[in-house]
A and B are shown apart, each in its own frame.
Chain A
Amino acid sequence: MSMAPLLVPILSGTMVAATPLIYAAIGELVAERSGVLNLGVEGMMLIGTVTAFAVAFAGYPPVFAALAAAGAGALASLAFAFLALSLATNQYAAGLALTILGSGLSAFIGHDFGSSALKSIPKLHLPFLSDLPFIGPVLFHHDLMTYLALVVTGGIWWFLYRTKAGLVLRIVGESPESAHAIGYPVIRIRYLATMFGGAMAGLGGAYLALAYTPLWVENMTAGRGWIALALVVFAAWRPWRVMLGAWLFGGVTVLQLFAQGLGIEAPSELLSSLPYIATIIVLVAISRNPRTMRLNAPVSLARTFRPEG
């Protein structure tokens, strides 16, 4: 089998490719659960990427770069939240504005990075686990941020389904009017959810800089923010399914690097287009069934809410 020696790098690469998607999609999932649809994910990721580069180039350790990226993403989402929540503008337009602004700002700031490269964050060596045959290199030879993405996924699952705050978030997304009637501060909750989404998008962008491609290129997220949005739909707004979906997309992304080795004769552009085509396919599959959408999509998603009185 010519595939066997490639299986390890493919699977391992899948996890790496999935990491930025997991961060961005989990963040957006939390925002959408509260009823906010933020189309600015791509812009926030780019801001995260450029921030991480800037902080790292300035000499700070990667941890600072990642935290700064998260902060920048949260700040960027604040601008969107002000428009969409306090001023109750159309959420689609506000999100698009954030993406365009984020894309422009990040290109502007990153202009002077030239072709300097960052040193990638190290892969951790876990005693015993990393040395296991096959699953060692596949599962246990990753950097901290990849593991953290999984922890965040688990943490958000626990938050949503095991805590009162998570329950309140979910009901706000289902019916802000009823939640408001009971007495919950809907707008404030949505602000917090949106800013969490921004911080996560920022982290996802930071990962691209710190581990994925340590060389700044304009628009280096290449649409991952949009894919993250589709992932949330694909996952029916459930955290563990986001992770699965991210792995699926990560795998499709990584495939193009190994196609030749696998004996797949196809133009590289076709392989590169697979993630995007796959996104369309899963979107159609999920949206087709009105029942699935009705049961899983937060009912108030993207609808403006103006509290009375």
Chain B
Amino acid sequence: MRIVLEPRPVPLEPMRVGAPLIALALTIFVGSLLFIALGLNPLTTLRAYFIEPLSTSGGVSEWLLKASPLILIGLGLTVGFRANVWNIGAEGMFTMGAIAAGWLAVRFGGGGHAWLLPAMVVAGALGGIGWAAIPAFLKAKANANEILVTLMLNYVAALILSWLVNGPMKDPDGMNYPQSAPFEPSAMFPPLFEGLRINGSIFITAIAVVLAWLFLDRSFMGFQMSVGGAAPTAARYAGFSRSRAIWLGLLISGATAGLAGMMEAAGPLGQLTPVLSPGYGFTAIIVAFVGRLTPLGVVFGGLLLSLLYLGGESVQMSLNLPASLARTFQGMLLFFLLAADVLILYRVRIKRR
């Protein structure tokens, strides 16, 4: 018995939206089986996972708060993926952005300066860009695989953060915990609503969505990058530079990841700690795929994956299930999505040998 893939003469367009939905349905199905295996009622557990977190204003605020960095990083990764540049190091760039902004916050926070927060925003982006320049340079000049380089740099960035919060940036009043001094209000995003954590950084993400759309769908450079990813020989024929696509793909995704790191540090975290991100850099890869590498899709993908995180936290509290459940669901979602995507371009037939 073997599987034969027959190319479709015309791609099945509805499947572009259909595949993520099928993947979600399959993930929920397998999740239900998992719940049953754990002795839980699948329906009530699913309800606790997906519905209850959104039933309060606090929950919605958290949902948007988590979606914001996912969308932001996802947008940056999308730019790279379209050009076939694989940045797996968004975690590290996230960290470096947070460190850059955090340093400013700790150094200048006491003065109550109005320029501090905007400066931190710039620093966050620059931190991510700087960290991304390393793999960009190594790939453009030495053909070093960007997947492995960016991955290694994730670990290095985490160690740099650890060194800082255990050493030079440790809070003198922090009872020797590894963390920086908490940021002053002038170094943080003010909350939008009383009692909710959702803050003004969400507008940065909104602007990023628009900018991403402008770049990807309207700019000539974005077009060149898409061609480079889709048909490298045609890109060469047209005179588009592969080297420029590599730099832009990595630097832009570095900038968004760094920004997201800054937003997290100057928002819900309010300081630098050894673990800044619950894996946003990796989850954003799934967001980009679920979003079909389009800005609008990334928004939906971000909201979906944020809900998966949120649900994980919710059932952790109410049913004592481990938080890693969220990551498991995320992995499953990507798996099923990749499988369902095959149907866009191919008909799958099972043939007797």
Question: Do the two chains touch directly in the complex (Cβ atoms below 8 Å apart)?
Answer: yes
Distance, CA A226 to CA B341, complexed state (A)? 27
Chain B CB within 10 A, most for which of A97, A98, A273: A97
Cβ-neighbour of B155 out of A92, A223, A229 (below 8 A): A223
Asked if A280 meets B338 with Cβ closer than 8 Å, knowing A108-B325, A267-B167, A270-B163, the reply is no
Spot the interface stretch: A58-66, A175-183, A257-265, A283-291. Answer: A283-291
Decide if B152 touches A233 in the complex (CB within 8 Å): no
Which of chain A's residues have a CB closer than 8 A to the CB of B325?
104, 108
Distance, CA A99 to CA B335, complexed state (A)? 11
Any A CB within 8 A of the CB of B156: yes
Nearest residue (CB) in B for A309 is B4
Decide if A97 touches B3 in the complex (CB within 8 Å): no
Any B CB within 8 A of the CB of A90: yes
Decide if A100 touches B330 in the complex (CB within 8 Å): yes
Any B CB within 8 A of the CB of A293: yes
A164 → B minimal CB distance (Å): 23
Asked if A218 meets B342 with Cβ closer than 8 Å, knowing A280-B152, A280-B153, the reply is no
Decide if B5 touches A218 in the complex (CB within 8 Å): no
Nearest residue (CB) in B for A226 is B151
Residues 99-151 of B contacting A (Cβ, < 8 Å) = 138, 142-145, 147-149, 151
Residues 139-180 of B contacting A (Cβ, < 8 Å) = 142-145, 147-149, 151-156, 159-160, 162-163, 166-167
Decide if A108 touches B342 in the complex (CB within 8 Å): no
Distance, CA A105 to CA B322, complexed state (A)? 10
B157 → A minimal CB distance (Å): 9
Decide if A100 touches B159 in the complex (CB within 8 Å): no
Distance, CA A138 to CA B142, complexed state (A)? 38
Decide if B152 touches A226 in the complex (CB within 8 Å): yes
Any A CB within 8 A of the CB of B326: yes
Any B CB within 8 A of the CB of A150: no
Asked if A102 meets B142 with Cβ closer than 8 Å, knowing A89-B338, A89-B341, the reply is no
Distance, CA A276 to CA B339, complexed state (A)? 33
Q: In the complex, how many residues of chain A place their beta carbon closer than 8 angstroms to a beta carbon of chain B?
A: 50
Nearest residue (CB) in A for B134 is A280
Interface of A is mostly: helix
Spot the interface stretch: A28-36, A80-88, A121-129. Answer: A80-88
Asked if A101 meets B324 with Cβ closer than 8 Å, knowing A269-B160, A293-B143, the reply is no
Any A CB within 8 A of the CB of B289: yes
Nearest residue (CB) in A for B323 is A107
Q: Mark A220-260, 1 if CB is under 8 A from B, else 0.
A: 00110010011001000000000000000000000000000
Decide if B334 touches A233 in the complex (CB within 8 Å): no
Decide if A283 touches B160 in the complex (CB within 8 Å): no
Distance, CA A267 to CA B142, complexed state (A)? 30
Q: In the complex, how many residues of chain B place their beta carbon closer than 8 angstroms to a beta carbon of chain A?
A: 46
B87 → A minimal CB distance (Å): 12
Distance, CA A82 to CA B336, complexed state (A)? 11
Q: Mark B303-338, 1 if CB is under 8 A from A, else 0.
A: 000000000000000000010111111111011001
Any B CB within 8 A of the CB of A120: no
Which of chain B's residues have a CB closer than 8 A to the CB of A119?
none
Q: Mark B185-222, 1 if CB is under 8 A from A, else 0.
A: 00000000000000000000000000000000000000
Decide if B155 touches A101 in the complex (CB within 8 Å): no
A297 → B minimal CB distance (Å): 11
Asked if A104 meets B160 with Cβ closer than 8 Å, knowing A39-B147, A93-B289, A267-B167, the reply is no
Which of chain B's residues have a CB closer than 8 A to the CB of A279?
148, 152
Decide if B329 touches A87 in the complex (CB within 8 Å): no
Which of chain A's residues have a CB closer than 8 A to the CB of B149?
280, 283
Decide if B144 touches A284 in the complex (CB within 8 Å): yes
Which of chain A's residues have a CB closer than 8 A to the CB of B142?
284, 287-288
Any A CB within 8 A of the CB of B86: yes
Which of chain B's residues have a CB closer than 8 A to the CB of A90?
338
6 A-B contacts, Cβ less than 8 Å apart? A89-B339, A101-B335, A102-B331, A108-B325, A111-B322, A293-B143
Cβ-closest 5 pairs across A and B: A101-B331, A104-B327, A107-B324, A104-B328, A111-B322
